[in-house]
Structure 1
Amino acid sequence: MRTLRSTRRLGRSGIEVSALGMGCWAIGGPWAEGSTPLGWGAVDDEESVRAVRRALDLGVTFFDTADTYGAGHGERILGRALAGRRHEAVVATKWGYTFDEQARQATGKDASPTYLRRAVHDSLRRLGTGWIDLYQLHLADLPVARGQDLVGTLEELVADGLIRAYGWSTDRPDRAAAFGRDAPHAAAVQHNLSVLRDAPDMLAVCNRYDLAGINRGPLGMGLLTGKYGPGSTLPRDDIRGWTSGWLEWFRGGRPAPEWLRRVEAARAALTADGRTLAQGALGWLWARSDRTIPIPGCRTVAQVEENAAALAWGPLEPDHFVEVERQLAALRAAALRAVDRPYWPSPMQPVAVS
Structure 2
Amino acid sequence: MEIKKINLGNQGLIVPAMGLGCMGMTGFEDAHMYGEADEKEAIATIHRSRELGVNLLDTADLYGPLKNEQLIAKAIAGNRNDYIIATKFGWEIDDNNKVTWAINGQKKYVKKALERSLQNLKTDYIDLYYLHRLDKNTPIEETAEAMSDLVKEGKIGYIGLSEVSSETIKRAHAIHPVTAVQSEYSLFERTVEERGILDTLAALEISFVAYSPLGRGFLTGQIRTIDDLPANDFRRSIPRFQEAHFHKNIELVEAIEAMAAEKNITASQLGLVWMMNKGIVPIPGTKRRKYLEQNIAALSIALTEADVQKLESIIPLGTDTGSAYDEFSMGLID
**TM-score range normalised by the length of the shorter chain:** 0.7 to 0.9
Matched, 1:187 2:182: no
C-alpha displacement at 1:316, in angstroms?
Answer: 2.5
Give matches, 1:1-354, under 5 Å.
6-31=4-29, 37=31, 39-99=33-93, 105-109=98-102, 110-140=104-134, 142-143=135-136, 146-180=139-173, 182-198=174-190, 199-200=192-193, 201-230=196-225, 232-240=227-235, 242-243=236-237, 247-251=238-242, 256-287=246-277, 289-290=278-279, 292-313=280-301, 315-329=302-316, 343=320
Aligned residue number for residue 337 of structure 1: none
| Cα distance in 1 between the residues matched to 2:286 and 2:68 | 12
Q: Match of 1:149, SS?
A: helix
Q: Work out whether residues 270 and 320 of structure 1, in 8 Å CA contact, stay in contact via their aligned partners in 2.
A: no
| Cα distance in 2 between the residues matched to 1:236 and 1:113 | 39
| Cα distance in 2 between the residues matched to 1:175 and 1:269 | 38
| Cα distance in 2 between the residues matched to 1:108 and 1:258 | 32
Q: Work out whether residues 118 and 124 of structure 2, in 8 Å CA contact, stay in contact via their aligned partners in 1.
A: yes
| Cα distance in 2 between the residues matched to 1:138 and 1:26 | 17
Q: Match of 1:39, SS?
A: coil
C-alpha displacement at 1:111, in angstroms?
Answer: 2.0
C-alpha displacement at 1:77, in angstroms?
Answer: 0.6
Q: TM-score of the superposition, structure 2-length normalised?
A: 0.87
Q: Work out whether residues 24 and 33 of structure 2, in 8 Å CA contact, stay in contact via their aligned partners in 1.
A: yes
Q: Match of 1:70, SS?
A: coil
| Cα distance in 2 between the residues matched to 1:229 and 1:269 | 18
C-alpha displacement at 1:39, in angstroms?
Answer: 3.0
AA at the equivalent of 1:223:
F
C-alpha displacement at 1:167, in angstroms?
Answer: 1.1
Q: Work out whether residues 23 and 64 of structure 1, in 8 Å CA contact, stay in contact via their aligned partners in 2.
A: yes
C-alpha displacement at 1:299, in angstroms?
Answer: 0.9
| Cα distance in 2 between the residues matched to 1:231 and 1:132 | 38
C-alpha displacement at 1:179, in angstroms?
Answer: 2.5
Residue segments in structure 2 that go unaligned for 5+ positions in a row: 323-334
- Paired residue total: 318
Identical amino acids, percent of aligned pairs: 28
Compared CA separation, residues 257 and 178, structure 1 to 2 (3 A): farther
Compared CA separation, residues 215 and 162, structure 1 to 2 (3 A): same
Q: Work out whether residues 26 and 32 of structure 2, in 8 Å CA contact, stay in contact via their aligned partners in 1.
A: no
C-alpha displacement at 1:296, in angstroms?
Answer: 0.6
Residue segments in structure 1 that go unaligned for 5+ positions in a row: 333-341, 346-354
Aligned residue number for residue 349 of structure 1: none
Q: Work out whether residues 160 and 178 of structure 2, in 8 Å CA contact, stay in contact via their aligned partners in 1.
A: yes
RMSD: 2.6
C-alpha displacement at 1:5, in angstroms?
Answer: 6.7
Q: Work out whether residues 187 and 212 of structure 1, in 8 Å CA contact, stay in contact via their aligned partners in 2.
A: yes
| Cα distance in 2 between the residues matched to 1:187 and 1:299 | 27
Q: Work out whether residues 71 and 100 of structure 1, in 8 Å CA contact, stay in contact via their aligned partners in 2.
A: no
Q: Decide which moves more: 255-264 or 108-117.
A: 255-264
**Residue deviations 1:163-194, cap 9 Å, x none?**
011111115333333333x1323101001211
Compared CA separation, residues 278 and 130, structure 1 to 2 (3 A): same
